[in-house]
Amino acid sequence: MSTTKRIYGIYADDDDLMHAVKMCNENGIKIHEVYTPFPVHGLDKALGLRKTRLSDAAFIYAVYGVLVGSLLTWYTMNHDWPMNIGGKPAFTWAENMPAFVVPMFELMVFCAAHMMSLTFLVRNKMYPMAPPQNPDPRTTDDKFLMEFVSEDVDTIKQILIDTGVEEITVKEA
């Protein structure tokens, strides 16, 4: 049997939680995960999480959307079947492009928004009917849960008690 345990510390207040995170950092204790009912300001920085690259992905998706829009309008209006509509003939895509700005813009927003949301779900391993990822149902209500995976149960317990923890659970990892 391994001596590694899974430790849950439940807090009732976000300020206490932030204090506990700082204490753990000072004592060099690795926090496995923190579950909160709402985005706690500054928590990601305190935990040393890197900036998410979701917005970079969104930019790429947006560029993709513009490309799709350009290709679609060029192929249908200038290449495959050029038409003279209302005395305004199709010459080159560059000359006709101002009329295509709206669909190109809409396709950009469409691709960026949908593909970014899909990326968000995939990266978080979220899908319909997925089992809840939080270990305690109270963390979507008003409790803040710190999760540790460690052998050093006593030190962690002491820090949690010192920072005003409400409840500690120790489980086999």
Partner 1 sequence: MSHYEAPIREPLIIGHKTYHDITVDIAKPIEERAGKLWWISFYAALVLFIYGFGCIAYTIGTGIGAWGLNRTNNWGWDITNFVWWVGIGHAGTLISAVLLLFRQRWRMSVNRSAEAMTIFAVVQAAIFPVIHMGRVWVGYWVFPIPNQYGSLWTNFNSPLLWDVFAISTYFSVSTVFWFMGLIPDFAMIRDRAKTPWTKKIYTLLSFGWGGQAKHWQRFEELTLVLAGLATPLVFSVHTTVSFDFATSVIKGWHSTIYPPYFVAGAIFSGFAMVQTLLLVARKVAHLEDYITLYHIEIMNIVIIVTGGMVTVAYACEYFIAWYSGSRYEDFVYLSPGAATGPYWWAFWALIICNLVIPALFWFKKIRTNIIATFIIALIINIGMWFERFDIIVINISRDYLPSSWTMFMPSVIDVGVFLGTIGFFSVLFLLYARTFPVIAQAELKSILKISGETYKAKEEDEHH
Distance of CA 29 to the CA centre of its chain: 25
**H/E segment holding residue 110:** helix 101-123
Closest approach of partner 1 to the CB of residue 24, in Å: 13
139 touching partner 1, by CB under 8 A: yes
For 41, the token pair is 């300001």
Structural contact between residues 151 and 3, judged by C-beta atoms closer than 8 angstroms: yes
User: CA 46, 48, 49 angle in degrees (round to 5)?
Assistant: 115
Beta-strand pair 144-150/33-35: antiparallel
- Does 141 contact partner 1 by CB under 8 A? yes
Say if residue 72 is exposed, middle or buried (CB neighbours under 10 Å; 0-12, 13-18, 19+).
middle
Nearest to 35 by CA among 51, 22, 25, 21: 21
Give the integer Cα–Cα distance in Å for 170 and 60: 44
In the bound state with partner 1, the residue whose beta carbon lies nearer, of 96 and 155, is: 96
Residue number with CB closer to partner 1 (126 or 161): 126
Q: State the binding string over 81-120 for partner 1 (x if CB under 8 A, else -).
A: x-x-xx-x-------x--xx-xx-xxx-xx-xxx-xx--x
| Interface characters, 54-83, with partner 1 (x: CB under 8 A) | xx--x---x---------xx--xx--xx-x
Compute the half-sphere exposure of residue 25: CA atoms within 13 Å on the CB side of its CA: 13
Site for partner 1 in 153-172 (CB under 8 A): none
Residues in region 3-42 near partner 1 by CB under 8 A: 14-15, 18, 33-42
Residues that bind partner 1 (CB under 8 A): 14-15, 18, 33-44, 47, 49, 52, 54-55, 58, 62, 72-73, 76-77, 80-81, 83, 85-86, 88, 96, 99-100, 102-103, 105-107, 109-110, 112-114, 116-117, 120-121, 123-134, 137-142
